[in-house]
Structure 1
């Protein structure tokens, strides 16, 4: 059981009504709170919740439309995303209860200060390195459209400028990260056919690929619904067409790909987690055609080259700079 869920269950009498659990972990919390429903934006968590509690968790970037008596927000890593989620929940809870739970290392004490805009918050519990806060929403805010919170920036490319749109919570929100910047300089000589952008984020890499190789089919995959929504906005802003899908890692990717490109993720919430990236490297060959190519950028300290060679064969370093390396390998 997630420690945040354990803290909630210490006050279980408060959570017996028709509550919405926003950003809930994929544990047994819905089993312990049979009248509650979830709102999830992590495809892996959603799949796990669907398997155990079918129909009780909503997936997407917008809150479910059905009414709820109160809500619990599991604090996300991104402060911008937390602001959006608190607004989305509080705008529908006038006179009712909004709870906020999170890890101390995730900034729960600072985030709890945001509850003052809605009423008079109080700390209900502190345990398992987590805190639980509650506020009666006396001043419900006006609901803010998610797209109005998007960050826009222009990316100069040889093929022409690319307009990037990122939503709160998306990796490198509102700016180009150094790893992707390096990879964008090394997109030459990619094979024709079907290309996957793994961990697409705001759609920078996938959109650049489609702009440079318009005849190629591009699929963009991310575990996060906000990233997928950002990628669709980026594509639309540049009049580009590509497939955008959500799924939990490389297992959700198409087969018979001609190339996989990625600046692979290595965080889950506030925790460092290399599992999705390492699983992609181990299974990339299963999704590539014979002769298909893997090209990734990663922090130089990560020992990805031996892992790639163990599953794909010879791996070369294409470029290196600013603490990053680009690795390239082909399926034999």
Structure 2
């Protein structure tokens, strides 16, 4: 059992219909039901968590919770401050005045800082501090503005220019590099003009920067953008819509490249290696190991990676070669073809 869930189960506040927001993959929901809670639901934007919960209970995967009657909401603190603000706006309006929202998180993940974000909406109480975690309660006496629940309010926009063409990027809270172009992707962009034509898989699409550049430079290119995060997938869709490129795009929620059965002419990625506050390399390492199986003959793999990661060796093992296109500013641009 996750430590945050253990802190929740130290208390007997839980009753009625409880919504768990961003919960870890454990048996908390079963323990709550056994303790007398009438019903437990889940809202998650992580597709791996959705896959875990879908066979157990009512779960929603997406950027908004299911509209329903909830008695209590327990939020597991996300990494991004702006994402918590967005979640609070959604959940507080769902519950209404007089009901309680509970916030739980690890001390090292900044739960005390996050608890301060509750203060504008009512009385806050620290209920517990154990297992290196804290549990806070908000008794709602003020609702966020209706505007705060609208998606457009939370979109960050920024322009990028590649090969004389300008694109406007749209990114939602919690999405990697939400308000600026990250260094790794910036290193990759000049090389995208070398990418061959054909069907393209963007693995870990984020806000859709790489996909949008490829679509803009080749209007016949069909792109499948995949990510584990619902906010990333929606951001990519918004970016393509903003630049009149939507007809070229298909988005797909996945947990790993092995979830994909189709083959492509190109696989391109600035692969993710963080989940929450932890560093997690498995999905990116699997990309290097299994990308060849997702490529047609003569298909290409393009990856930008932190210099310290051992992706060249993994790629060379599978493809028999790995071409280093660039090594600067802490990142490597890697290329291989089947």
After TM superposition, the runs of 4+ consecutive aligned structure 1 residues lying more than 3 A away are: none
Q: Counterpart in 2 of 1:157?
A: 162
Q: Counterpart in 1 of 2:91?
A: 89
* Runs of 5+ unmatched residues, structure 2: 34-38
Deviation at 1:312, TM superposition (A): 2.1
Distance 2:19 2:211 in 1: 34
1:96-135 maps to which residues of 2 (within 5 A)?
Answer: 96-135=99-138
Distance 1:323 1:132 in 2: 39
Q: Counterpart in 1 of 2:73?
A: 71
Aligned length: 328
1:267-325, Cα deviation, whole Å (9 max, x unpaired): 00011111111111111112111221111001111111111111222001011211000
Q: Which residue among 308, 311, 320 is the counterpart of 1:304? A: 311
Distance 1:313 1:130 in 2: 47
Q: Counterpart in 1 of 2:279?
A: 272
Is the counterpart of residue 38 in structure 1 residue 38 in structure 2? no
Matched-pair contact (CA < 8 Å) for 2:15–2:71: no
Q: Counterpart in 2 of 1:9?
A: 9
Deviation at 1:254, TM superposition (A): 4.4
Distance 2:292 2:161 in 1: 33
Secondary structure, counterpart of 1:318 in structure 2: strand
1:312-327 maps to which residues of 2 (within 5 A)?
Answer: 312-327=319-334
The normalised TM-score by structure 2 is 0.94
Distance 2:194 2:118 in 1: 52
Secondary structure, counterpart of 2:65 in structure 1: coil
Is the counterpart of residue 294 in structure 1 residue 301 in structure 2? yes
Q: Aligned-pair RMSD on alpha carbons?
A: 1.2
Q: Counterpart in 2 of 1:23?
A: 22
Distance 2:63 2:177 in 1: 18
